[in-house]
Structure 1
C-alpha cells in the first residue's frame, strides 16, 4: 500500500491486497489511538467485488491442509510436488509456511530466481538448486505438460502431486466448505486468495469511510456503502478523528505529472 499526504489531502492506494477484517487495526500508519485516519481518496483493489466472491477462507487454513498432503505424498522417495500458482509472485506466504513446517525448500527456475535472490531474507524458503528438494514452483498451466520448463535434471520415474492455488474458480464459497478439493490424477485444487473477498473489501472501505472511493479493475459501487448491504453489517458512518502521524518522510526527486496529481487529489 502507498499512503500519500499533503498539507490538505490524504490519499491511499492499496494495490493488490488481502487483509482480514480483524487485521485492519494492526496497521499503525492507518490507525491512531484506535481510530482510523481521515482519508480523502482511496484507490482500492476490487478484483473480487462480485457477489459470488462473498467469502474466502483464511490463507493459514488452506496452507495447513496443503502441508499435510505434501507431507503424506513425499513419504515415497519416488514422489515429487509441483506447485501451480495463479500469478508469478504473491505466494511467498505459501512457500515460507511449507518450508517452516517441512524443512524443505521450494525450487524456482532461473527466471524467477533473478527476482527472489534479491529478497532472500524475506523468502528464505526458495532455492535455485533443484537437486536439494522435491518441491518446485511449476511453470506449466496443466499437469499434462512435462516439466522441462521447470526442471533441467528430471527423472521420468517421478510421480508428481499437482497442487493448484487459485481463487477465481472458488465462486460462491461458504466458510464451512473444505478449502481444498482432491481430484483424480494426483491433483489438488486449493482455495487461496491474494485479494480481498467482497466482505473483507467492503469492511475495509467502511472502516475508513473515505470521501472518495475509486475501484480497480472494477468500479466500487456506491450502494455497497449502504448499511443494508449484504456484504457487511459494519456501520458506514463512524467517528473519524484526524490525528497527526509521525512517519518517516520519503523524498522523491522525480517529478510527478501534474495531470496525475490532479486526478489523485481533486
Structure 2
C-alpha cells in the first residue's frame, strides 16, 4: 500500500499518484497506473471543482493508463485534462502560473517503472509499482545518456518488499509455469473442471491472461471488456462468455452470491452437472510471512491454492537496481508490513551515493619498471617463453608499483640527497659477481627501464664486457674501458655445468664504474682495445677542452 504523500522535494509544483490534501494546489498531476492506492483523491469533489476553473491543469500518464481510467464513468470529467505521454519519449512540459505568470520547464520521460523528471533541480526518478529482474536496469534507455548512467539525484522508490524477509521472490516466469502446470492438470480431467483466478484487482494481471490464453487456446472470462476495448493485444484473450473453463471474474460489490456456486459470475454447466472448481490466488505477502521455505504454489484448502506472484521487486532486486543507479537520495514510498518508515529509511541509507567520496582523487601511476624474468625450464620454446615472461612481468610490476606508491605515501621522510643516486656499490669477494648464474641482470642492478631480453637455456651467451653510457659528458669514469671477461664467463659456464663453484670466487672483480652502472645497453668489446693510462687520459681531456681534433692511431687503425 503506497504511503507516498505525492510531492517531491525537488519539484513541489507537481503531484504524483496522490490527489488530495496539499496536492490540490499542484500545477501538474501524474498517474503511474490505475491501482486504488495510487489514485487517492483523483475523483474527489475538490479536485473536480478545480478543473472547472482552470485551463492549464493537466493529468499526465501513459496511453494504457488513460484508456483504463476513462473506461470508468466516475473519471469521465478528466477526459479534457488528460495528456497521454509516449513511452520512453522525452516530453517538454511548460507550466505557467496563472497568478504570477512564472514559467517552469521540465522534461518528463514515461518508463515502464515510473516517471523520470529532468529540470533545474536535477534528475529525479519516481517509481510506481515495478518489478525488475537483476540486470534489467541496464536495458532501460531513459536511464542512460549515451553509454553512461545518468546522474540521478533522488529516487522515490516502491519499497513494498524492501525487507530481508522478501530477499528472493520467484520471477513471473517461474510463477507462470507453475500456474500453467496446475491449470493443465485440472482442466484436462473433464469439461466440468474449472479454474478461478482470484485476482484482487481488475488491472495488472494481463500477463497471466495472455499467457494462459495462448497456452490452452482459450479466452479468460472477465466481468467487462470496457477497459480492454482499446488494447487489442489483451482484448483477444478475454471474453464475457461464462462457458470458459478459466475465469477471472470478480464478485460485484453489494451483491451476495449463491453459496453453492463458488464462481463470482454464478456460472454453471449447461446440463446441470456440478462444476469442480479450484481457486488460485496470486499473492506475495502471504509467502513472505511464512517461517519456512515453500514452493511457488501452496495448497491452502481442499480446493484453494496460493501462487507466489508479485508486482513488486524483491529485496535483492531492489538492491541490484539501486547499486546500478547510485542515487544521492532514496525516499521510500511504501513501508513494508511490520516495519516503520525509519526502519526502511535506515536500510536504504546504505544504498545512497556518498557525495563526499565522489571527488576525483589523484593517484600516481608508479614506476614503469619490469622485474627480472624467472628462469625457464629446458625444452621450452623461445617464443612462448618471451610471451609468458612479459605477462608475468607486467602483473608483478603493477603489484610492485602499487606497493611502492602506498609505502611512499605512508612513510614520509626527508628527500634523498643527490649523491645517493650515484653512489656505486663495491662487490667484495664474498659477494657474487657479474659472472654468477643467480645474480640479477645488469639493468635490474642499475634500475634501468630497458626491458630485459629473454634467453633460452640452450643458448649460452657470453656476458658483455664493455658498458658505455649514452648522452653523458666527458669524465674519467666514462673514458675507462673494462677488460674482457670472456675467460671468466667460459670458466663460469664450465663450473656450473660440472656442479662446481662459480668463477666469481676465484677471479678478482674490478670495481664497477659509473658508466658500467648507468648504461642501458651493453655492446661487445672492441678488438685490440686496452685500458688507457692516466697520462693518455690527461692529454686526451686537455685536447678535448681546447677544441682540438683528437686522432689516435694504432698501427693502421684510426679512431
TM-score clears 0.5? yes
- Which one of the candidate residues 129, 137, 159 is aligned to 2:276? 159
| Structure 2 residue 192 is the aligned partner of structure 1 residue 78 | yes
- Which one of the candidate residues 133, 137, 147 is aligned to 1:20? 133
- Aligned partner of 1:116 in structure 2 is 228
Query: What are structure 2's unaligned runs of at least 5 residues?
Result: 1-113, 336-340, 359-559
Encode CA deviations 1:30-53: one digit per residue, 9 max, x unaligned: 134553211112111111122221
Encode CA deviations 1:233-255: one digit per residue, 9 max, x unaligned: xx967999xxxxxxxxxxxxxxx
| Structure 2 residue 209 is the aligned partner of structure 1 residue 95 | yes
- Which one of the candidate residues 167, 171, 176 is aligned to 2:288? 171
Change (3 A) 1:117 1:65: same
- Aligned partner of 2:439 in structure 1 is none
| Structure 2 residue 269 is the aligned partner of structure 1 residue 128 | no
Encode CA deviations 1:133-174: one digit per residue, 9 max, x unaligned: 211114259x99565873254346111121111001011679
Report the Cα offset of residue 199 of structure 1: 1.4
Encode CA deviations 1:56-85: one digit per residue, 9 max, x unaligned: 001101110111111121121111110012
- Which one of the candidate residues 302, 310, 331 is aligned to 1:214? 331
In 2: Cα distance, 1:146 partner to 1:16 partner: 37
Assess if the C-alpha contact under 8 Å between 1:56 and 1:173 holds in 2. Answer: no
Higher helix share: 2
| TM-score normalised by the chain length of structure 2 | 0.37
In 2: Cα distance, 1:57 partner to 1:35 partner: 30
In 2: Cα distance, 1:70 partner to 1:168 partner: 23
User: RMSD value over aligned CA atoms?
Assistant: 3.2
In 2: Cα distance, 1:29 partner to 1:37 partner: 9
Change (3 A) 1:120 1:148: farther
Alignment of 1:184-203 (within 5 A): 184-203=301-320
In 1: Cα distance, 2:354 partner to 2:320 partner: 12
Encode CA deviations 1:172-196: one digit per residue, 9 max, x unaligned: 679x852111344222210111111
Change (3 A) 1:205 1:153: same
Moved more, 55-64 or 156-165: 156-165
Change (3 A) 1:159 1:149: closer
- Aligned partner of 2:348 in structure 1 is 224
In 1: Cα distance, 2:206 partner to 2:145 partner: 29
Change (3 A) 1:213 1:147: farther
- Aligned partner of 2:250 in structure 1 is 139
Question: Computing the radius of gyration over CA atoms, which structure comes out larger, 1 or 2?
Answer: 2
Assess if the C-alpha contact under 8 Å between 1:96 and 1:123 holds in 2. Answer: no
| Structure 2 residue 150 is the aligned partner of structure 1 residue 37 | yes
| Structure 2 residue 229 is the aligned partner of structure 1 residue 105 | no
Report the Cα offset of residue 224 of structure 1: 3.5
Moved more, 68-77 or 29-38: 29-38
In 2: Cα distance, 1:144 partner to 1:47 partner: 36
| TM-score normalised by the chain length of structure 1 | 0.74
In 2: Cα distance, 1:57 partner to 1:9 partner: 35
Assess if the C-alpha contact under 8 Å between 1:45 and 1:216 holds in 2. Answer: yes
Assess if the C-alpha contact under 8 Å between 2:250 and 2:265 holds in 1. Answer: no
